[in-house]
Chains A and B, each alone.
Chain A
Amino acid sequence: MELNYYPGCSLHGTAHDYDVGIVAVFRHLGVDLIELDDWNCCGASSAHIMHPRAAVELPARNLLIASQSDRPLLTPCAACFHRLRLCQAHLLEHPADHPYAAALTRVEVVHINEMLLKDEIQKKIKTNINNPLAGIKVVPYYGCLTVRPPRAMKHPDPENPREMDAILNILGADVVNWSYKTDCCGGSLAMTRPDVVRRLSGNLFEAAREAGGELIVTDCPMCQANLDTRQKEIERERNTSYQMPVVYITELLAVAMSVPETRSWWRKHIVDPVPLLRSKGWGA
């Protein structure tokens, strides 16, 4: 099986470990990811504010490249996924805004959780699990951009998404139910208002701890970066200790399926997940 793959700027930068993990996990599942040739930035946090036309045309250029084949377009970054689907929603409503609007709206833009839950992939995951993740209370955190706005994102339940819960259940993890699944971590203000980020992300840690969580899992590179890199500051500010590792869903898949490269990924994390994983015998 082959998929088109749009990593986006984060996955080629600070979230390079997510990129490597995704490619390794899908290869393990027998899926080849074909990176879009000469892809460009989706415009993410800024184009929709500074340049609304570019907020449509930047994702459109990537969709045009993807439309050259029938393969679905795997888009793991929450912001890229958000921008590509918004672009398609815009072009469905305003087809005159792009000469190839029809072809662009036909590209199947797939979220990573959606992809992992497709029957064929799900079956492969189930047969490949040899290290079930029992014993750690995992907190699924979805963030904003893959569920909102729900119409354009085609999300049926924006207040209570359950895709990662389902994947974690397959992996045998102890999934924590909490009510902050889609509360904002402050991602878009990471550089400009770190005080707001510390407050919002701090609230997430408090809620995760209160729910009994030991580990936060996410599919969004911005959420991961925020929660991992700001955790120490938040602990200092609130005079407490969370020691709550923040990992990607693909990292847990890799552990559960014993993907060999996994070990080299952990050192990228600031809050080290290894002690927790070892204490549960997950063999990290």
Chain B
Amino acid sequence: MEKVLLEDSMPIRPDDGAFLSEVEGLSGVQVSACFHCEKCTSGCPVSYAMDLPPNLLIRHIQLGQRDKVLGSETIWVCASCITCSTRCPNDIDLAHVMDALRRMSMQQGTVSLSRVRAFHEEFMKAIRTHGRVHEIEMIARYKIKTGTLLEDMELGRELFARGRIRLIPERIKGRREVRDIVA
């Protein structure tokens, strides 16, 4: 994958810090405190699959590069393992910032990896429907939506044969309550 680097021609804060403030406001995390020690990037298990490694993502936020940040694959390939937030010497909860960036990206319609979005949508739908996640139904819906039905067929058959797949969903009595929460 092509790595994005800071470009010489990149204007510094073209938006006068508006994007930075927006991210800090939405996430409640002080992204401007980052002094780029790169501890997050060094420890990130998925930085190899990112177009913008974690600390560079922060640098782009600091420099107001809204489109690059919200259109990046980084925010969707992040595995939410929270290693970065745990190790940051400046106490920047980057994993939490990622969540805010994902929401901003969805609102703006610039989601780079649509499979990830589809998964989370089906997960929430499952909660709304039953109050609990019925795994096989959620996965089937996700796979139909993303056209990946054939991907794990062999595995699915094996899990079924071993009795690890429950076919009948559990529905809770407080479904309405839960539906109000996730409305």
Contact = CB atoms under 8 A, between A and B. Distances in A.
A187 interface: yes
B45 interface: yes
Contacts of A47: 124, 127, 182
Contact of B139 (A144, A145, A187, A191): A191
B47 to A, nearest CB: 11
Nearest to B177: A61
B4 interface: no
Contacts of B103: 49-50, 52
B10 interface: no
Interface string A162-199: 00000000000000000000111011110111101001
Nearest to A12: B170
Contacts of B165: 13-14
A211 interface: no
Interface in B146-170: 151-152, 155, 158-159, 162-166, 170
Instruction: Say whether chain B's binding surface is mostly helix, strand, loop, or mixed.
Output: helix
A108 interface: no
Contacts of A158: 86
Contact of B120 (A45, A52, A186): A45
Contacts of A145: 82
Given A148-B81, A192-B116, A196-B46, A51 B182 contact: yes
Contacts of A281: none
A46 B124 CA distance: 7
Given A148-B81, A193-B77, A270 B158 contact: yes
Interface in A207-223: none
B32 interface: no
Given A148-B81, A148-B86, A41 B99 contact: no
B68 interface: no
Contact of B99 (A10, A39, A48, A196): A48
B82 A144 contact: yes
Contacts of B134: 9, 13
B83 A184 contact: yes
A208 B163 CA distance: 28
Interface of A: 9-10, 12-17, 38-41, 43-54, 57-58, 61, 144-145, 148-150, 158, 182-184, 186-189, 191-194, 196, 199-200, 229, 267-270
23 contacts: A10-B135, A13-B134, A13-B136, A40-B132, A41-B127, A44-B123, A46-B124, A48-B80, A48-B99, A50-B123, A50-B124, A51-B124, A54-B182, A58-B182, A158-B86, A184-B83, A188-B80, A188-B81, A193-B115, A267-B162, A267-B163, A269-B162, A270-B158
Interface of B: 45-46, 48-49, 77, 79-83, 85-86, 93, 95, 99, 102-103, 113, 115-116, 119-121, 123-124, 126-127, 131-136, 139, 142, 151-152, 155, 158-159, 162-166, 170, 172-174, 177-178, 181-182
Given A9-B133, A13-B165, A46-B123, 16 more contacts: A12-B166, A16-B166, A38-B174, A40-B174, A41-B132, A45-B80, A49-B103, A51-B182, A52-B103, A144-B80, A148-B83, A188-B80, A192-B116, A193-B49, A199-B48, A268-B163
